[in-house]
Amino acid sequence: MQLIEKQFDSYFSGEMPQQEKDFFFKEIDTDKRLKTAFIRIQNSKGLLCLYDFRGDEQIAKSAWIKFNEILRKRSYLRFPLNILKYAAVIAVLITSTFFLKGFFLSSKKIVYNKVEVPVGKSLFLSLSDGTTVILSPRSTFKYPDSFEGEERRVILDGEAFFDVKNNTDKPFIVKTNRYNVRVLGTKFNVFDYMSSAIYEATLYEGSVEVYKDNKQKKPVILAPYEQVVLKDNNLVKNKIEHYYVHMSETGIITFDSRSFREIIKKMELYYNINFIVTNVNTLDKIYTGKFRIQDPIEDVLDALQKTNKFNYTISSDKKIVYIM
């Protein structure tokens, strides 16, 4: 027991030598309780890292120190039940915009966790089956502590990159406002904010099936490096560039030959900001580029200006961008 606690402490403090990590991960993979504990701590640390340590520095540092003290005082068999709840409380105090809770889906009595990602942040999560998820700003994601039954179902409002652990006996399903995406094990990206008309599903490995709940229409099957978008209430497939996958996996937003009209629609969602365009000639200009989610809106617009010239101003409350 003490050895296990020391291993957890060593890994999450960043002090574990590289040669010990392989053995550590093998231990975790063969013990369900250890694996659950590891995932909860990893996700809890990710929630706390949503805070960027500007402003309330002392609050953030004190919360993180207290969180680590709790880790050291609890055995790995006990703390999985309580530690994520404790970390979520700290995250709420620190960010003032992050929200996490557990709730029941009454039809199947499955307890789902719910996370909401603030503006200007991304969030990495590990699910109980080994699947990893990168959530974009202002996304809401619901997932169970463990996947029971014949499928692995999660619910998304926003954008997420999924690296799904393969399991041919239990398909992984991402349910969004408009469509479902069904996979067995692969890498793909889904974009579907309820507040936006945009829908995109992009595949990088394997195969995915995009379908409606009622299944009245034939599902769309994607091959690697294909993307399906919603146009005039129909799903349309397009090819994407191979390098695009690397950008998504690192949480970097990439635009590949996209119009300014499309780009600003996404930036409105990421930054919770409105664009007012008086220079309509800029809307159909084409751009290719990338930026980090944490980059200020000014940095993104300055970079875009280098490709096609336009002028802009931002309101004092940073809620409106005027393109002139």
Q: For 156-212, what is each residue's pLDDT tens digit?
A: 999 999 999 999 899 999 999 999 999 988 999 999 999 999 999 999 999 999 998
Question: Matching CATH topology for 98-250 and 251-323?
Answer: no
For 98-250, CATH gives 2.60.120.1440
Q: Is the pLDDT reported for residue 88 higher than 50? A: no
Question: Please, which pLDDT band fits residue 320 given cuts at 50, 70 and 90?
Answer: very high
Burial (CB count <10 Å: 0-12, 13-18, 19+), residue 174: buried
More confident of the two residues 260 and 111: 260
pLDDT in tens, 261-295: 989 998 999 899 999 999 888 999 998 888 887 88
The mean-pLDDT minimum among 56-70, 87-101, 234-248 falls in: 87-101
User: What pLDDT, in 10s, does the model give residues 1-35?
Assistant: 456 666 766 766 667 776 677 677 677 767 767 76
Write down the pLDDT at residue 322.
Answer: 96
Instruction: Report the pLDDT value the prediction gives residue 251, as an integer from 0 to 100.
Output: 67
- 314 pLDDT higher than 70: yes
Cβ-based neighbour number of residue 324 at 10 Å: 11
Q: What is the pLDDT of residues 90-124, one digit of tens each?
A: 444 433 334 555 555 544 567 888 898 888 788 88
Please state which of the ranges 72-81, 125-134, 150-159 shows the lowest mean pLDDT: 72-81
| Confidence label for 52 from pLDDT (cuts 50, 70 and 90) | very low
Rounded to 10°, the helix 32-48/83-95 angle is 10
CA angle 83, 161, 145 (to 5 degrees): 30
Model pLDDT, residue 133: 93
Backbone angles phi, psi at 202, to 5 degrees: -125, 130
More confident residue, 288 or 314: 314
Break the chain into its structural domains and give their ranges: 1-96, 98-250, 251-323
| CB distance 160 to 141 below 8 Å | yes
Write down the pTM of the prediction: 0.70
Using an 8 Å Cβ cutoff, are 236 and 267 in contact? no
Query: Can you give the chain as a three-state secondary structure string?
Result: CHHHHHHHHHHHCCCCCHHHHHHHHHHHHHCHHHHHHHHHHHHHHHHHCCCCCCCCHHHHHHHHHHHHHHHHHCCCCCHHHCHHHHHHHHHHHHHCCCEEEEEEECCCCEEEEEEECCCCCCEEEECCCCCEEEECCCCEEEEECCCCCCCEEEEEEEEEEEECCCCCCCCEEEECCCCEEEECCCEEEEEECCCCCCCEEEECCCCEEEECCCCCCCCEEECCCEEEEEECCEEEEEECCCCHHHHHHCCEEEEEEEEHHHHHHHHHHHHCCEEEECCHHHCCCEEEEEEECCCCHHHHHHHHHCCCCCCEEECCCCCEEEEC
Asked whether the predicted pLDDT for residue 126 surpasses 70, the reply is yes
CATH of 251-323, one of 3.10.350.10, 3.55.50.30, 2.40.420.20, 3.40.50.720: 3.55.50.30
* Confidence tier at 306 by pLDDT (50, 70, 90): confident
